[in-house]
A and B are shown apart, each in its own frame.
Chain A
Amino acid sequence: MLKNTLSRWLAAILLPLVPAISASAQDLVVYTYDSFNTEWGPGPVVFKAFEEQCSCSVQVIAPGDSGSVLSRTILEKANPKADILLGVNDSELAKSFRHDLWEPYRSPNLERVPEDLQLDPKHRVTPFDYGYIAFVYDSERLDAPPKSLEELTDPRFRGKVVIESPKTSSPGLSMLHWTIAVYGEERYLEYWDRLRPNLLTITDGWSAAYGMFTKGEVPLVLSYVTSPAYHVEYEQTERYKALDFSEGMFRQVEFAGILKGARNPERAREFIDFMLTSGFQDVIPLTNWMYPVAPEKALPDSYRAAVRPAKTLTLPPERVEERNDRWLRDWSRTMAK
């Protein structure tokens, strides 16, 4: 009762002069992270292709990075606005399971996806692309790049490396997990201690780090194996190269799923099926700069600049969920010495 009156009051206070956009008028509502749906991202192409296929309309809402989209979805769990959440990565997966967001669905197209990428046996989420974080270097400014995480600590790279903070960015967090996968929980902090002098600075997000790299401030940056393909495709230069480290490369997988309480589960299932077909998968390489999980066409030519890791590393999501707080805490204290 009180809530009702109050909400009417608030609605009056907050000046409802512009009609709200009501989600029910749309056939499918998708939440995704902002860079997925920019002009240059896959969003405009793949959602349009789906609209044509289903002769329905798609409303895309892309507020912020994948972390904030996930938190938004969890916050409105009781009254979900979206049918699909697209763009949860493996380190966030356990969190989404804990909040019981998903309506399971096993797409018949899932058999096109390599088995080691099907990380959820209950099919709450379906993978759509994956990639590896990697150090990218500027071949015009560095002659002998490091060949391993270990060699990255060599004094000749002092002040020449920029990474993202694990506390605020997704590649940064993956890098922390990478070192734990390689050195184990007993020795990863020692590694960071050795690496520290080589880090010029640690940025809040990927953009600041990669910006510093392309503007020439450092010759080595933490990014993705697929980053050099962008420069080949759009700038016709092979100057920037990704490094395949001998310890193995750390993988990131991105997933989408149908939300519990979706208004249009039928369409949502149709979308998940579509996600694993050519109209979605073959758009990913040149727009999201990740590897598609079920490509039908060959990868674009520029992908010759993206290395295929010889060895893949991962951490089990449950362990990440359980230990992550502790790792971040210990990491900050080691680095702030």
Chain B
Amino acid sequence: MSRLLERSLPGLLQAFAALLLIGGFYLPLLLFLGGRDPLQPEVSMLRLDFLLDFLTDPWNLRVLRFSLEQALWSAGLSVLVGLPGAWLLTRYDFPGRAAFQRFAYLPFLLPSILVVLAMVLFFGNQGWLNRLLMALFSLKEPPVQFLYSLSGILLGHVFYNFPLAMRLIGDSWERISAQYSLAARMLGHSPRHNFLRITLPLLLPSLTGAFALIFLLCLNSFAIILVLGGGVRHTTIEVLIYQLARIDLDFSGAAVLSLLQSGLALVTLMFLLRRRQHAVRQQSASRLWLPRELRRRRPEAWLGLFWLTGALLFGVGPLLAIVLDSLRQADGFSWNAYQVLFGSRENHRFLAALWNSLRIGLTGALLASILGVGLLLGLERLPGRLRSAVEGLVLLPMAFSTVVFGVAWFHLNQTWLSGDAPLFWVASGLHAILGCPYWLRLVLPTWQAVPQQWHNESRMLGIARIRFWSVVLWPWLRPTLLLAFGFAFALSLGELNSILMIADETVRTLPLEIYSALSGYRFHQASAVGVVLLGMSVSLFWLVERAALLRR
């Protein structure tokens, strides 16, 4: 029995991955794009004339260029800000290190509107930072004015994404053998040479991977670009797509632009990611205790502290602003918002939404993990070129506008499934597909770093595959798998667009509750729901990590 399972499991996993990805994303999309516009049956979905009209207008080209430019800048800056963090996490131990690592999930949990309001509360003209500086130096005008321009967009995007870069890079940095740097130092190379010639090339896959994910995320960004960018001056294609799909109800136009946008994005990425390197790595050396290094007056330890302070101020400040905002009422402080949330009322809508978020998040992350393992096993067998094509296919759901995909999915449900698909599983499946690119990006470098000799040795010793997985691979992959699961979970908890398109009472989640509170003037209550969302996932990750440690 176990033999049979052992032999068929990889195949089953791969089949599941292929089915989920095709049935859940590509089929709805192709059926939608291949047909006619459901609102204007005389028009086919893929209107070439629309595309040509669009591309011959210089104004549109400017919008297109800006969309790509801001995403490139945002991704580059996020990686640049995240890199020292990865170094810090790899090299030093310090009080609160685990909590700091967990902080990487947090921005993903919040709907972008709450992040925008948090940025305004913290960095705005009347925000904490400006009021503090004005009080300190008795100024009349707010000194820090980087919101409402391109720098506001970049600030918002870096806030959102640098923790992701930090974790992605840090996870792979930890696996670079200390022996390399030791050997280099013995050969008389400077630390700078060491970093540039050894560490950086070894880190490259995770750097480009982080860059790619963040680039795609920023391309689809919407509220941040509009509000923090100062209105329509910095408009992007995503805004046009939204307008076409939601206000004009021109689905074919929206679909054409989404295809254009995601196609361009993938081409850009393929160009950037052309060179992929594989490296043999081993477990690194133990970490230094930061407080002691500080007392020893090591300059790099002080630099690390400097970065940490900045990151806390910049990354935690706006989150703290939300927490405080949730405790405010009119001009005073109160628990009122929480009392209203957890108070017993006629319909426990909040608790129901909490439960929905949890179960969809967990199921989605689990499905993403299964999907990821299936893809991992499948990718391994493919020759190089085909492999990057398949990886591109896995990335496409991220690059494609969720507004248009939501419509495509809804259309499929209407015309082919007579509107009867079970929405809980649809939501979980969609979240799994959206979370999978992160999962893969996180796990792939670690997976590829499994030394080939382990496979060979275990085969020579006649160790069964399942035992090899549980005894050798699982301990090696475990931290990364947990991290990937966490990101998929966080992404699902914060996801809004696809939920909006399929939602009815069975799939109301917490982000929807935040929107409900906002639209009913309950701004402090919306912040309170956000805080619950943050608290819930922090404790959940803590539990999961604890459980994983105990097992060992």
Q: Which residue of the partner chain, among B245, B350, B417, B506, contacts A10 with CB atoms under 8 Å? A: B417
Q: Given the complex, which residues of B lie within 8 Å of A81, measured CB to CB?
A: 419
Cβ A201 vs Cβ B230 within 8 A:
yes
Q: Given the complex, which residues of B lie within 8 Å of A20, measured CB to CB?
A: 420-423
Mask, A35-77, CB within 8 Å of B = 1, is: 1001111001000000000000001111111011011101110
A40 to B346, CA, bound (A): 12
Q: Given the complex, which residues of B lie within 8 Å of A16, measured CB to CB?
A: 421-422, 425
A20 to B506, CA, bound (A): 10
Cβ A15 vs Cβ B522 within 8 A:
no
Cβ A230 vs Cβ B421 within 8 A:
no
Q: Is A215 an interface residue (CB 8 A)?
A: yes
A165 to B416, CA, bound (A): 36
Mask, B511-530, CB within 8 Å of A = 1, is: 01001111111110000000
Cβ B429 vs Cβ A15 within 8 A:
yes
Q: Given the complex, which residues of B lie within 8 Å of A10, measured CB to CB?
A: 23, 27, 412, 416-417
Smallest CB-CB separation from A216: which chain B residue? B126
A residues 182-218 touching B (CB-CB < 8 Å): 199-208, 210-212, 214-217
Q: Is A335 an interface residue (CB 8 A)?
A: yes
Tally of chain A residues near chain B (CB < 8 A): 78
B residues 191-210 touching A (CB-CB < 8 Å): none
Cβ A15 vs Cβ B425 within 8 A:
yes
Cβ B407 vs Cβ A75 within 8 A:
yes
Q: Which residue of the partner chain, among B24, B113, B125, contacts A207 with CB atoms under 8 Å? A: B113
Given A63-B501, A216-B126, A14:B231 Cβ within 8 A:
no
A95 to B246, CA, bound (A): 12
A79 to B415, CA, bound (A): 8
Given A10-B416, A14-B422, A336-B233, A328:B519 Cβ within 8 A:
no
Cβ B39 vs Cβ A34 within 8 A:
no
Q: Is B47 an interface residue (CB 8 A)?
A: no
Q: Given the complex, which residues of B lie within 8 Å of A109, measured CB to CB?
A: none
Q: Given the complex, which residues of A lie within 8 Å of B120, measured CB to CB?
A: 211-212, 215, 217
Q: Which residue of the partner chain, among A13, A41, A68, A333, contacts B19 with CB atoms under 8 Å? A: A13
B residues 517-552 touching A (CB-CB < 8 Å): 517-523
Interface 9-mer from B235-243, B298-306, B393-401: B235-243
Q: Given the complex, which residues of A lie within 8 Å of B516, measured CB to CB?
A: 34-35, 38-41
Q: Is A246 an interface residue (CB 8 A)?
A: no
Cβ A63 vs Cβ B419 within 8 A:
no
Cβ A208 vs Cβ B500 within 8 A:
no
Q: Given the complex, which residues of B lie within 8 Å of A68, measured CB to CB?
A: 246, 500-501
B residues 205-222 touching A (CB-CB < 8 Å): 222
Q: Is A99 an interface residue (CB 8 A)?
A: yes
Smallest CB-CB separation from B131: which chain A residue? A216
Q: Given the complex, which residues of B lie within 8 Å of A22, measured CB to CB?
A: 420
Given A15-B422, A35-B519, A35-B520, A203:B227 Cβ within 8 A:
yes
Cβ A208 vs Cβ B231 within 8 A:
no
Q: Given the complex, which residues of A lie within 8 Å of B279, measured CB to CB?
A: none
Q: Given the complex, which residues of B lie within 8 Å of A79, measured CB to CB?
A: 414, 418-419
Q: Is B349 an interface residue (CB 8 A)?
A: yes
Q: Given the complex, which residues of B lie within 8 Å of A206, measured CB to CB?
A: 519
Q: Given the complex, which residues of A lie within 8 Å of B374, measured CB to CB?
A: none
Given A7-B417, A208-B117, A165:B19 Cβ within 8 A:
no
Given A67-B247, A201-B227, A44:B27 Cβ within 8 A:
no
Q: Is B503 an interface residue (CB 8 A)?
A: yes
Q: Is A235 an interface residue (CB 8 A)?
A: yes
Q: Is A173 an interface residue (CB 8 A)?
A: yes
Q: Is B317 an interface residue (CB 8 A)?
A: no
Q: Which residue of the partner chain, among A227, A235, A328, contacts B243 with CB atoms under 8 Å? A: A328
Q: Is the interface of A mostly helix, strand, loop or mixed?
A: mixed
Cβ B249 vs Cβ A74 within 8 A:
yes
Cβ A14 vs Cβ B426 within 8 A:
yes
Cβ A332 vs Cβ B515 within 8 A:
no
Smallest CB-CB separation from A236: which chain B residue? B330
Q: Is the interface of B mostly helix, strand, loop or mixed?
A: helix
A35 to B500, CA, bound (A): 13
Q: Is B505 an interface residue (CB 8 A)?
A: yes
Cβ B126 vs Cβ A332 within 8 A:
no
Q: Given the complex, which residues of B lie within 8 Å of A18, measured CB to CB?
A: 422, 424-425
Q: Is A6 an interface residue (CB 8 A)?
A: yes
B residues 263-282 touching A (CB-CB < 8 Å): none
How many residue pairs link A and B with beta carbons under 8 A? The number is 221
User: Could you tell me the distance in whole angstroms from the C-beta of B550 to the nearest C-beta in chain A?
Assistant: 31
Q: Is A296 an interface residue (CB 8 A)?
A: no
Smallest CB-CB separation from B222: which chain A residue? A204
Cβ A201 vs Cβ B231 within 8 A:
yes
Cβ B519 vs Cβ A336 within 8 A:
no
Cβ B23 vs Cβ A75 within 8 A:
no
Q: Given the complex, which residues of B lie within 8 Å of A297, measured CB to CB?
A: none
Q: Is A298 an interface residue (CB 8 A)?
A: no
Q: Given the complex, which residues of B lie within 8 Å of A325, measured CB to CB?
A: 248
Q: Is B26 an interface residue (CB 8 A)?
A: no
A200 to B412, CA, bound (A): 42
Smallest CB-CB separation from B496: which chain A residue? A64
User: Could you tell me the distance in whole angstroms from the C-beta of A77 to the nearest C-beta in chain B?
Assistant: 9
Q: Is B49 an interface residue (CB 8 A)?
A: no
A6 to B429, CA, bound (A): 19
Cβ B417 vs Cβ A165 within 8 A:
no
Cβ A76 vs Cβ B243 within 8 A:
no
Given A71-B249, A200-B148, A17:B425 Cβ within 8 A:
yes
Cβ A76 vs Cβ B232 within 8 A:
no
User: Could you tell me the distance in whole angstroms from the C-beta of A169 to the nearest C-beta in chain B?
Assistant: 9
Cβ B148 vs Cβ A11 within 8 A:
no
Q: Is B143 an interface residue (CB 8 A)?
A: no
A159 to B156, CA, bound (A): 20
Q: Is A237 an interface residue (CB 8 A)?
A: yes
Cβ B504 vs Cβ A76 within 8 A:
no
Cβ B117 vs Cβ A14 within 8 A:
no
Q: Is B318 an interface residue (CB 8 A)?
A: no
User: Could you tell me the distance in whole angstroms from the C-beta of A259 to the nearest C-beta in chain B?
Assistant: 14
Cβ B38 vs Cβ A208 within 8 A:
no
Q: Given the complex, which residues of A lie within 8 Å of B125, measured CB to CB?
A: 159, 200, 217
Q: Given the complex, which residues of B lie within 8 Å of A75, measured CB to CB?
A: 38-39, 407, 410-411, 414
Smallest CB-CB separation from B121: which chain A residue? A215
User: Could you tell me the distance in whole angstroms from the C-beta of A36 to the nearest C-beta in chain B?
Assistant: 9
Given A10-B416, A44-B347, A79-B418, A67:B246 Cβ within 8 A:
yes
Given A167-B243, A202-B231, A336-B233, A211:B505 Cβ within 8 A:
no
Residues of A within 8 A of B (CB): 3, 6-7, 10-11, 13-22, 34-35, 38-41, 44, 59-65, 67-68, 70-72, 74-76, 78-79, 81, 95, 99, 159, 165, 167-168, 173, 199-208, 210-212, 214-217, 227, 230, 234-237, 289, 324-325, 328, 332-333, 335-336
By Cβ-Cβ distance, the 5 closest A-B pairs, closest first, are A202-B231, A35-B519, A38-B516, A207-B518, A40-B520
Residues of B within 8 A of A (CB): 19, 23-24, 27, 38-39, 59, 113, 116-117, 120-121, 124-127, 147-148, 222-223, 226-233, 235, 239, 242-243, 245-249, 325, 329-330, 345-347, 349-350, 407, 410-412, 414-426, 429, 500-506, 512, 515-523
List 13 extra interface pairs beyond A20-B423, A236-B330, CB under 8 A: A3-B416, A11-B417, A14-B429, A20-B421, A34-B512, A38-B516, A38-B517, A65-B246, A75-B414, A79-B419, A168-B239, A201-B147, A217-B127
